[in-house]
Chain A
Amino acid sequence: MDKDFQASLIGELVVESLEGLDAFDADLLALESAASNPQEPLRNAFRRIHTIKGSSACVGISPVERLAHVAENLLSRMRDGKMTVTPVLISSLLQTADRLRNMMHDLDRTGQCEGHDNRDLIELLHAMTDDGVPAAPATFGFFNLPEPGEPAEQVETPAVEMAAVEPSTFEASAGASAETPVAESSAVATPAPAPVSAPAPEARTQREEAAPPDDGGASRGSASENAIRLDVRHIDRLMNLVGELVLARNHIMQFASRLDPVLQGSVQRVNHITTELQQSVMKTRMQPVGNIWAKFPRVVRDVSQEVGKQVRLVMEGSDTELDRAVVEAIKDPLMHILRNAVDHGIERPEDRLAAGKPAEGRLCLRAFHEGGQVIIEVADDGRGIATAKVTAKAVERGLITAAQAAKLTEDEVFALIFLPGFSTAERVTSISGRGVGMDVVRSNIEKIGGAVDLRSTAGAGTTLRIKIPLTLAIIPALVIDCAGERFAIPQAALVELVWMDSQQRKIEYAAGRPVFRLRGSLLPLVYLDETLRMKRQAAAGEYVVVLRADGRQFGLVVDAIRDTEEIVVKPLAKELKDIGVYAGATIMGDGRVALILDVFSIARETGVLNSDAAAEHVRAETAAAVSQTESLLVIRAGGNRMAIPLRMVMRLEEVKADRIERASRGPVIQYRDSIMRVIDLSRSFNLMPAPAGDVVSLVVCAGKGEQVGLIVEQVEDIVEEAVSVRTSATQPGISGSGVVRGRVTDFIDVPAVAAMHGIRGLEA
């Protein structure tokens, strides 16, 4: 037989069998837990193992065929109702699946399946099949010689999963000597599902490089006509091209206003189509999170058996979709969390009963979309985490002092669990281990721009909440200037921006490192130009970008802050990746390359993540709760000095005056895909309006449901201080006056001002 043809057949076999084995596992587990209605899982399990047997026979892989055959006989008897389902039976079948999987992997790697001795398992399965009669003689595929004594006409055709063949057609009770030949025309061809797309054969031989087929549509084992199998590299290529289109589009948009109006219309069309295309292609990278969850019930079952607990895993939201790369990245952390929960979270059955709980513990895995992110929750109804134990352990390990421990809130206590070197496990088990703790889980999740936190009630259970971004390929980022160059910082790591006027702000030193007092807490500072070993440019004011890494915050000192943009992340060459501080590169709207900073690595390299700083921060945060400082944006409007609470401020914009248009409700502006109302503060407060220029300063404020642009004469400062001397409100829209930096300042009540103009929904 043609060597390439054989290789592609083997490739197909491996892919389909591995998928089938995953489904087989799920069927066995379903069978185990659905003792009262076993028919459907039994039929499914039988069908899957039957397919594997037939396909492997067709390709001529006898070891697989032999083992699958014995398992098939066993399942056949079970299906006939001649055997009861016991855990021992299920375990043996699961073990069979594992052996088959190993053989498939071997086949995949080497093209051969040698040296697998499954006689022990085969004998065990035989014995279980109850009558001790050897199973029906192994039927042969087209390319093997018949076993001695086998009549030559006996031909078994592979049951193609996609062809809807009723399993009963292949009904054969164990011990029967003849399998009914079936005149299925699928006999000769490769057991390829009919709707596969044309490139499938090449795709198979190149399969080693591609990830296991995570096509968005084809669900495991079902003959869905709307699904195709597609080489993952085609999708990646498509993604790249769309990424480049997005960049080119961004570049064109920069000049859009200078274009001939006729051309502008077309440019707008291209703009919209590009955005939609980007969204559509991003969707092809999306994979249901259930794809990695599929293995979890088995893992939970195995671990529970190993540690003698009873645990039931419930999964909700398996069809929640995530970017492929993100799904891969969270697989291990989730596995670790589940193992932890079974091993340490859920109590032993007798302890549970004693506590008035059902003997079987419940582990609930939930995924859903929220606010542009995906949330995954792992909740158990186990023994929970006692805060006293956590603080005791933290003190014992020198992570915090007893005095600090006393002042922590419950959330802060749980946050301690994520510190490196922390583990409350009483025994070191082979499963969860010591030190491979939550800190590793958290850093893995933060590496992809996510966050994780924990809540628990002692005696009742623990819930872990993981938040992850929808995609990694295109991310929102903040662009900053440093030493004359531009860099991008992923917005996922961004906490806030602070302007540090060198006269007003003092940099203090704690434990030899520069720190910055922010609302009473001390923020360790990292000078980006120093970290990058660039020449410091003298700057009177400096900006601090407050970033979050590994659950802690630090400030990155940069020269200027530019815009927030959606950037396409491009990987770096290996030598540049090795530098460590860069997460990738991107091409800005003007065509220049900018480097993307790796926040976590910068933090780790400069040592701002060490425990001393963390402990200090924890202490300082609690102290901060007591002080009364506020963040304010100080502006001038109508000649008067005013302040807007910074928490209401979304962005500061400078727009051309002619972008403000008139509408029936009042002046509006087209802002970021929506139409936003604009309020001239000087007019609102009946003050002298400033002379009209061709550029207008706009403060974009947002509340829960709405946003509004406030026209001001000038943005003066962002301040952070305890405000003194407050007088009460004197006119609508003003919540009072106070002294800010030695000058009398009116405080604007943004929701009230908006309401004055008929805009609701700005309450925070």
Chain B
Amino acid sequence: MQYCTFHLGDQLFGVDVLKVQEVIRGLGVTPVPRAPEAVVGLMNLRGSIVTAIDARQRMGLPPAPGQTSPINIITRTASGVVSLRVDSIGDVLDAESIETEAVPSTAGARERQFTQGVCKLEHGLLQILDADRLANIEITAATDVSRR
């Protein structure tokens, strides 16, 4: 199982690499007024209109400080092709050899909604996220967790 990893602040996250179509920087976004907070807007990806989702907002993190040029991880999810907007991209990691643990019960609501597991790496933790759930805006921190 390989993961495409990315950074939000100083935290490292990963999603199933097989779901990732491409990674693009610098694609303009048209905001959608009155859209849910997690929706940054719509982007033109070679003629297709793709929804851009703010990964920070989904994980309950504050907006990135200062001038940002977010990276778009174009992901195929159950809700269609979306762009996950992240701070920066990491390496593709092979989790075969790494120990994956379940999400601790002490984790916050958001972590439990979207995190599938946690890997202990040499220099920190890698949180594995469920791209489908992350892209499904109807699932929020407040959604009933027992549905998992």
A576 close to B (CB within 8 Å): yes
**Cα-based distance from A244 to B47 in the complex (angstroms):** 6
By the criterion of a CB under 8 Å from any partner CB, how many residues of chain A are at the interface? 24
**Cα-based distance from A243 to B31 in the complex (angstroms):** 23
Known: A485-B30, A581-B34. A573 touches B51 (CB 8 A): yes
Q: Enumerate chain A residues within 8 angstroms of B138, measured Cβ to Cβ.
A: 575
Kindly name the residue among B30, B43, B137 whose own CB sees the greatest number of chain A CB atoms within 10 A.
B30
A593 near B43 (CB under 8 angstroms)?
yes
**Segment from A109-117, A217-225, A584-592, A735-743 that makes contact with B:** A584-592
Q: Enumerate chain B residues within 8 angstroms of A579, measured Cβ to Cβ.
A: 32, 34-35
Q: Shortest distance in angstroms between A565's beta carbon and chain B's nearest beta carbon?
A: 15
Q: Shortest distance in angstroms between B44's beta carbon and chain A's nearest beta carbon?
A: 5
* Closest Cβ neighbor of A244 among chain B residues: B47
B39 close to A (CB within 8 Å): yes
B42 near A585 (CB under 8 angstroms)?
yes
B47 near A587 (CB under 8 angstroms)?
yes
Q: Shortest distance in angstroms between B125's beta carbon and chain A's nearest beta carbon?
A: 31
B39 near A593 (CB under 8 angstroms)?
no
Q: Shortest distance in angstroms between A511's beta carbon and chain B's nearest beta carbon?
A: 26
B80 near A595 (CB under 8 angstroms)?
no
Q: Shortest distance in angstroms between B33's beta carbon and chain A's nearest beta carbon?
A: 4
**Cα-based distance from A570 to B138 in the complex (angstroms):** 22
B28 close to A (CB within 8 Å): yes
B80 near A573 (CB under 8 angstroms)?
yes
Q: Enumerate chain A residues within 8 angstroms of B137, measured Cβ to Cβ.
A: 575
* Closest Cβ neighbor of A595 among chain B residues: B32
* Closest Cβ neighbor of B136 among chain A residues: A575
A657 close to B (CB within 8 Å): no
A533 close to B (CB within 8 Å): yes
Q: Enumerate chain A residues within 8 angstroms of B23, measured Cβ to Cβ.
A: none
B49 close to A (CB within 8 Å): yes
**Cα-based distance from A244 to B49 in the complex (angstroms):** 11
B30 near A592 (CB under 8 angstroms)?
yes
A270 close to B (CB within 8 Å): no
**Cα-based distance from A762 to B36 in the complex (angstroms):** 51
A49 close to B (CB within 8 Å): no
* Closest Cβ neighbor of A483 among chain B residues: B33
Q: Shortest distance in angstroms between A240's beta carbon and chain B's nearest beta carbon?
A: 9
B49 near A575 (CB under 8 angstroms)?
no
For B36, give its contact among A570, A575, A594 (CB under 8 Å): A575
**Cα-based distance from A594 to B43 in the complex (angstroms):** 10
A576 near B33 (CB under 8 angstroms)?
no
> Beta-carbon contacts of A456-492 to B below 8 Å, as 1s and 0s?
0000000000000000000000000000010000000
A247 close to B (CB within 8 Å): yes
Contact-residue bracket for chain B: 20 to 34
B42 near A593 (CB under 8 angstroms)?
yes
**Cα-based distance from A579 to B41 in the complex (angstroms):** 13
B143 close to A (CB within 8 Å): no
B79 close to A (CB within 8 Å): yes
Kindly name the residue among A533, A593, A595 whose own CB sees the greatest number of chain B CB atoms within 10 A.
A593
Known: A485-B30, A575-B137. A593 touches B49 (CB 8 A): yes
B33 near A532 (CB under 8 angstroms)?
yes
Q: Shortest distance in angstroms between A530's beta carbon and chain B's nearest beta carbon?
A: 11
Q: Enumerate chain B residues within 8 angstroms of A572, measured Cβ to Cβ.
A: 49
For A570, give its contact among B30, B33, B39, B49 (CB under 8 Å): B49
A534 close to B (CB within 8 Å): yes
**Cα-based distance from A582 to B137 in the complex (angstroms):** 18
Q: Enumerate chain A residues within 8 angstroms of B79, measured Cβ to Cβ.
A: 573-574
Q: Enumerate chain B residues within 8 angstroms of A532, measured Cβ to Cβ.
A: 33-34
A576 near B30 (CB under 8 angstroms)?
no
Q: Enumerate chain A residues within 8 angstroms of B39, measured Cβ to Cβ.
A: 575-576
Q: Enumerate chain A residues within 8 angstroms of B34, measured Cβ to Cβ.
A: 532-533, 579, 581
* Closest Cβ neighbor of B81 among chain A residues: A573
Q: Enumerate chain B residues within 8 angstroms of A582, measured Cβ to Cβ.
A: 32
Q: Enumerate chain A residues within 8 angstroms of B36, measured Cβ to Cβ.
A: 575
**Cα-based distance from A594 to B80 in the complex (angstroms):** 20
Q: Shortest distance in angstroms between B36's beta carbon and chain A's nearest beta carbon?
A: 6
For A485, give its contact among B31, B35, B51, B80 (CB under 8 Å): B31
* Closest Cβ neighbor of B41 among chain A residues: A593
Q: Enumerate chain B residues within 8 angstroms of A595, measured Cβ to Cβ.
A: 30, 32, 42
For B49, give its contact among A248, A485, A574, A587 (CB under 8 Å): A587
Q: Enumerate chain A residues within 8 angstroms of B51, measured Cβ to Cβ.
A: 573, 575-576
Q: Shortest distance in angstroms between A731's beta carbon and chain B's nearest beta carbon?
A: 52
For A534, give its contact among B30, B33, B46 (CB under 8 Å): B33
Q: Shortest distance in angstroms between B143's beta carbon and chain A's nearest beta carbon?
A: 14
B30 near A593 (CB under 8 angstroms)?
yes
Q: Shortest distance in angstroms between B52's beta carbon and chain A's nearest beta carbon?
A: 10
Q: Which residues in chain B, 1-56, are within 8 Å of chain A measured between CB atoms?
A: 28, 30-36, 39, 41-44, 46-47, 49, 51
Q: Shortest distance in angstroms between B39's beta carbon and chain A's nearest beta carbon?
A: 7
**Cα-based distance from A591 to B44 in the complex (angstroms):** 7
Q: Shortest distance in angstroms between A211's beta carbon and chain B's nearest beta carbon?
A: 21
B49 near A592 (CB under 8 angstroms)?
no
**Cα-based distance from A54 to B33 in the complex (angstroms):** 59
B30 near A533 (CB under 8 angstroms)?
no
Q: Shortest distance in angstroms between B38's beta carbon and chain A's nearest beta carbon?
A: 9
Q: Enumerate chain A residues within 8 angstroms of B32, measured Cβ to Cβ.
A: 576, 579, 582, 595
* Closest Cβ neighbor of A532 among chain B residues: B33
Q: Enumerate chain B residues within 8 angstroms of A533, measured Cβ to Cβ.
A: 33-34
**Cα-based distance from A593 to B47 in the complex (angstroms):** 10
Q: Enumerate chain A residues within 8 angstroms of B44, measured Cβ to Cβ.
A: 587, 591-593
Q: Shortest distance in angstroms between A573's beta carbon and chain B's nearest beta carbon?
A: 5
* Closest Cβ neighbor of B34 among chain A residues: A579
**Cα-based distance from A581 to B30 in the complex (angstroms):** 16
> Beta-carbon contacts of A511-535 to B below 8 Å, as 1s and 0s?
0000000000000000000001110
Residues of A within 8 A of B (CB): 243-244, 247-248, 485, 532-534, 570, 572-576, 579, 581-582, 585, 587, 591-595
* Contacts A532-B33, A572-B49, A579-B32 supplied; 20 other A-B pairs, CB < 8 Å: A243-B47, A244-B46, A244-B47, A247-B47, A485-B30, A485-B33, A533-B34, A534-B33, A573-B79, A573-B80, A576-B35, A579-B34, A582-B32, A587-B49, A592-B28, A592-B30, A592-B44, A593-B43, A593-B44, A593-B49
Can you report 21 A-B residue pairs in the complex whose CB atoms are below 8 A from each other? A532-B33, A533-B33, A534-B33, A573-B79, A575-B35, A575-B36, A575-B39, A575-B51, A575-B137, A575-B138, A576-B51, A579-B32, A582-B32, A585-B42, A585-B49, A591-B44, A592-B30, A593-B30, A593-B41, A593-B43, A593-B49
Residues of B within 8 A of A (CB): 28, 30-36, 39, 41-44, 46-47, 49, 51, 79-80, 137-138
The 9 closest A-B pairs by CB, nearest first: A532-B33, A244-B47, A593-B30, A593-B42, A575-B137, A570-B49, A579-B34, A585-B49, A573-B51
